[in-house]
Amino acid sequence: MIRVDGRGDSTSLIKVRGLNKTYSRGGEQIQVLQGLNLDVDRGDFVAFMGPSGSGKTTLLNLLGGLDVPSAGSITVDGDEITHMSASKLTQWRARHVGFIFQMYNLIPVLTAFQNVELPLLLTKLSKSDRRKHVETALGVVGLSDRMNHYPRQLSGGQEQRVTIARAIVSDPTFLLCDEPTGDLDRKSADEIMALIDELVGKYNKTILMVTHDPQVAARAHTTLHLNKGVLVEAKALQEGVLAGGAA
């Protein structure tokens, strides 16, 4: 169950309570998130939408432990990450989060195989175990025949699939995707989305995804909108707009 009212029970995988994020820019305080609540269960697939500057990336960065909130708490699988030290948080990210960014962010001097292997170098896995995991991940994204290609030898869609393989190779607790199809044409975007669908449907992954594209968002179980620093469900937003329009 995905909830935004802060009343989720203790079984939620991700539990966000009263999340605030304030940036100061030139002495001016910008409140981006204001008391945001969210509950996500294991195997859920959530899409975040909202106008540019509404704080989608900010929210994702906080959920992924890349940034710390001004107030509020984030608990993942029982661990409250909002009070972890920087080095603890780094270890936690390695273990629990798979990132897929809009820009594919592969290391250009490493092959697809080597890029996907990067998160595994931090584990105690043996070389042959690493190889098995990397081959499996590249198999899932359909790039078994491109393992030894360098990023510049791959198309945008293929690069993004390598990024997805890198995100899932260490079997993280959940995946965060910030506009994963933002830089791709329709066809590649559809392929990536089919892949993400498969990760949820077949492999039961938990995915939180930011997108501007309603067609992409439609694939998710639930679409949430960032509005004035909090999340609202799509239909509630619609009702609000209608109510506002009637007034």
Partner 1 sequence: MKYSRLIFANLFRKKIRLVLTVGSFAIALFLFTFLAVVRGAFSRNTELAGADRLVVINRVGLINTMPLAYGDRIRQIKGVKYVTHNNWFGGVYQDEKNFFPQFVIDPANQLKVMTELHVPDDQWKNFLADRQGAVVGRNLAKRFKWKVGDRIPLQNALYGSTKTWEFNLDGIYTNDKEGGDESQFWLQWDYFYENIPDVIKGQAGWWVLKLDSPDDAVRVGKAIDDGFANSSYETKTETESAFQAGFAKQLGNIQLLITAIGSVVFFTLLLVTGNTMAISIRERTSELAVLKAIGYSDRFVLFFVLAESLVIALIGGLLGLGLAFLAIPVVGANLNGMLPPLLLSATALGLGVLLAVFVGVASGLLPGIGAMRLRVVDALRRV
Positions in 41-60 near ligand ATP (CB under 6 A): 50, 52-58
Burial annotation 136-158 (CB, 10 A radius, 16+ → b, else e):
ebbebbebeebbebbbeebeebb
Q: Which is nearer to ligand ATP, 34 or 114 (CB)?
A: 34
Does 216 sit near ligand ATP (CB under 6 A)? Answer: no
CA pseudo-torsion sign 89, 91, 92, 93: positive
Rounded to 5°, the CA angle 70-72-76 comes to 115
Q: Report if residue 3 touches ligand ATP, rule: CB under 6 A.
A: no
Of 54-62, 73-81, 138-146, 164-172, the window that binds Mg ion (rule: CB under 5 A) is 54-62
> Binding of Mg ion at residue 57 (CB under 5 A)?
yes
DSSP per-residue codes, 192-235: HHHHHHHHHHTT---EEEE-S-HHHHTTSSEEEEEETTEEEEHH
* Residues at the contact surface with partner 1, assessed by CB under 8 A: 57, 61, 64, 66-67, 86-87, 90-91, 93-95, 99, 101, 103, 105, 107-110, 114, 118-119, 121-122, 127, 166
Strands 79-80 and 71-76, how do they pair?
A: antiparallel
Residue 30 binding: pick among Mg ion, ligand ATP, partner 1, none (C-beta 5-8 Å cut-off by kind)? ligand ATP
Q: In the complex with partner 1, which residue's Cβ is closer, 45 or 104?
A: 104
- H/E stretch holding 24: strand 14-25
What's the closest the beta carbon of residue 90 comes to partner 1, in angstroms?
A: 5
Using CB under 6 A as the criterion, which residues of the chain lie in contact with ligand ATP when the complex forms?
23, 25, 30, 32, 50, 52-58
